[in-house]
Amino acid sequence: MLSLSFSTFRDRWRLFAGAIVAVALGVALVQSSLLVMVSTDRAPVPPGASGRVREQIREGYAGAATLLGMTVMLSVFLTVFIVGSTFAFTVAQRRRDLALLRLVGGGRGQLVLLLLAEALLLGLAGTALGAAAGVPATWAQARLLIALGFLPDGFAPVLWDSGAAVASACVGIAVSLAGVLAASRRAAKVRPLDALRDTGASARVMTPMRWLSGVSGLALTVLMVALAQSAELLGAMMLALGISITGGVALSALSPLVVPLAGRALGVALRRSTLGEIAQANLRDGVRRSASTAAPLIVLVALLVGLAGTLGSLALMSGEEQRRLVRGDLVVESPGAAAERIAAVPGVAAASPEVTVPISVTARHHEEGRSWRRTHYSGIVAVDPPAYRRAHKVRLLAGSFDRLRGRTIALGPGMAAEGVRVGSTVTARVGGHAVRLKVVAAFVPTLENYSETFLVPRDVVPAPVRAGGEAQTVVRVAPGTEPAQVRERVRAAGLGRARTVAQWADARTAEQQRGNLGILAVLMGMAGGYAVVAVINAVVIAGTERRAEFAAARVAGMSRPQVVRAALVESWAVTAIGLVLGCAVAGGALSGMLAASLRGAGRPLVAVPWTLLAAVTVGAFAVTGATSVWTTFSATRPRPVTLLTTRE
């Protein structure tokens, strides 16, 4: 059986090439992610680093671990998907061969074994390639995580670990075997009689499983879109993520139904030329082929545009929120020492200096019956409470902002969900002295990721310590004074950089956006890589499958360039359909964000990632076009007569 698998494998390597690349990619990613995790474990925080640096490095490691975990899960899932669809394809294509095996005495179990053995070979080949690619992948991944700020500069990953190599090899083989399971079940259902039928009723494309997952996924998606119209912002965001995933999966499962339907709509444009007409007929006829090209595109566009749009919209809304929370004309960023002098600048009516100070706060956290102490270093801000109150819209969950004076502390927006209780006492270490502070107020959380964690009255922090911090000062200008004038004076006095509240909020938004997009870029870039493999795979398999069909078209009078063009038109039409359907899902996802922003802010705050969408569109057309032309060219290389007369 293994020798039969081996000769099939050797004979049909082109069919398996995409799946091998997918497995190799998966193995390389799993291996590199494990190695980076092992390295963060082995690279301890440098001795002598300050508490704040330690906290930053630890948080970076935690962020990196989360990202790596998601990477591993996503790549395993996508690899199973690609291996599965490759084998589904080969089983459909090799129906006659499989039936023939049954005819000469092959049992059902033997057919399953045959496919498992092929998957094993594929897994081994992919694993070998992946293990080799894992070394550069680890290096590249570490560089990327450093660039994203998750890992400290100069972080050097371990490039080889036998444990990680064994684990990723196991993943590679397990993933290949898992991918083949569904296909091998289908292969076992091939009847020996199918070998005798020339056309052979090919397997139904819409299997019951496909119907079930497609229809239930679609129902769930529609329900979520409906719910999102009246959901709160965070609810709308979670729903948008859900819609992107279930909608993409549902439409790709239903693609054998949806793609020909969309093809009919596109047909009006295509039918004007003969080649277009042929392409459109093929689109309707080759359902499995069109669907398997469109499916990965639908999922990719839905996820990419849906997620990027959701996160972008969230950033827009958090910028809007910041703008509304600040009551002032200008925001000045300066060293802590300079902040106190801003109030004295002519034309300034009121100034609220807020200094991020290098102190630590140790607090007791309570959550679900557990309680622990933790020391915080970042986001601790010293404020002048009365000035702060005038310069901000203070929204509290609990306590009273008026009591923020003397030895007290308030929980900032970033600490709202951390389980520190109002009324408890925390310990602050200020310049080497321990100070006990009573928690008197807790702010409502904001949409921002890295907000203030604690606010302390500035008297708690001695002036020299405050002078070493970084300040932002909200300024209100005196009536009759132009904000631009004050801005110029602040600059001239060398006090710091002054911006309007709108500019400042936009900058904060942009920063948020950058962080989000960085993470998104890593995950989606990877998903995009897999989608490219899946699409190329589908186009290549479909092209080689159609040698006889192309030959018949040429005998009927089409020239080779015409055959190539017709195939190109067809695959571009499928690409367009995949992109449009993916955008439809993303649109559903963003509709909830639109509704939430209209309700919350009174104006639409939706970030449609146009650049990304344009890049994906151009990339998709380029990839499917190039692959289609290449496969059609190589499938039409032999003279048509030889293809029409030989069977095997």
528 Cβ contact partners less than 8 Å away, ≥ 6 residues apart: 300, 304, 616, 619
Contacts 24+ apart (CB under 8 A), 206-212: 206/256, 206/257, 209/182, 210/253, 210/254, 210/256
Q: Which is nearer to another protein, 38 or 100 (CB)?
A: 100
The answer to the question of residue 105 lying near another protein (CB under 8 A) is yes
Q: Which is nearer to another protein, 192 or 619 (CB)?
A: 192
The answer to the question of residue 12 lying near another protein (CB under 8 A) is yes
- The interface mask with another protein, positions 111-150, x = CB under 8 A, is ----------------------------------------
How many residues appear in the chain?
Answer: 648
The only residue of 54, 56, 97, 386 in contact with another protein, by rule CB under 8 A: 97
Within 10 angstroms of residue 32's Cβ, the number of other Cβ atoms is 28
Q: Which is nearer to another protein, 53 or 644 (CB)?
A: 644
Instruction: Give the phi and the psi of residue 237 in degrees, each rounded to 5.
Output: -70, -45
* Structure tokens that stand for 324 in this block: 């509304």
- The interface mask with another protein, positions 178-197, x = CB under 8 A, is -------------xxx-xx-
- Binding-site size, another protein (CB under 8 A): 29
The answer to the question of residue 7 lying near another protein (CB under 8 A) is yes
225 Cβ contact partners less than 8 Å away, ≥ 6 residues apart: 239, 243, 588, 589, 591, 592
The answer to the question of residue 418 lying near another protein (CB under 8 A) is no
Q: Which is nearer to another protein, 97 or 418 (CB)?
A: 97
Nearest to 15 by CA among 542, 550, 535, 532: 542
* Residue the block writes with tokens 């922090």: 461
Nearest to 179 by CA among 78, 73, 75, 83: 83
The only residue of 19, 28, 101, 254 in contact with another protein, by rule CB under 8 A: 101
The answer to the question of residue 107 lying near another protein (CB under 8 A) is yes
The answer to the question of residue 104 lying near another protein (CB under 8 A) is yes
Q: Quick check: helix, strand or coil at residue 416?
A: coil
The answer to the question of residue 647 lying near another protein (CB under 8 A) is yes
Q: Which is nearer to another protein, 192 or 600 (CB)?
A: 192
- Min separation Cβ 279 and another protein, Å: 30
- Min separation Cβ 172 and another protein, Å: 25
Nearest to 323 by CA among 603, 5, 521, 550: 603
How many degrees, rounded to 5, is the angle at CA 290 between CA 284 and CA 294? 130
The only residue of 106, 130, 247, 353 in contact with another protein, by rule CB under 8 A: 106
The answer to the question of residue 162 lying near another protein (CB under 8 A) is no
- Min separation Cβ 10 and another protein, Å: 7
Q: Which is nearer to another protein, 196 or 618 (CB)?
A: 196
- Segment interacting with another protein (CB under 8 A) among 5-13, 323-331, 443-451, 504-512: 5-13
The distance from CA 97 to its chain's CA centroid, rounded to whole angstroms, is 41
Q: Quick check: helix, strand or coil at residue 163?
A: helix
Nearest to 304 by CA among 633, 609, 643: 609
Q: Quick check: helix, strand or coil at residue 602?
A: coil
The only residue of 14, 52, 96, 421 in contact with another protein, by rule CB under 8 A: 96
Within 10 angstroms of residue 394's Cβ, the number of other Cβ atoms is 18
- Min separation Cβ 197 and another protein, Å: 10
> Which residues lie near another protein (CB under 8 A)?
1, 3-4, 7-8, 10-12, 96-97, 100-108, 110, 191-193, 195-196, 198, 646-648
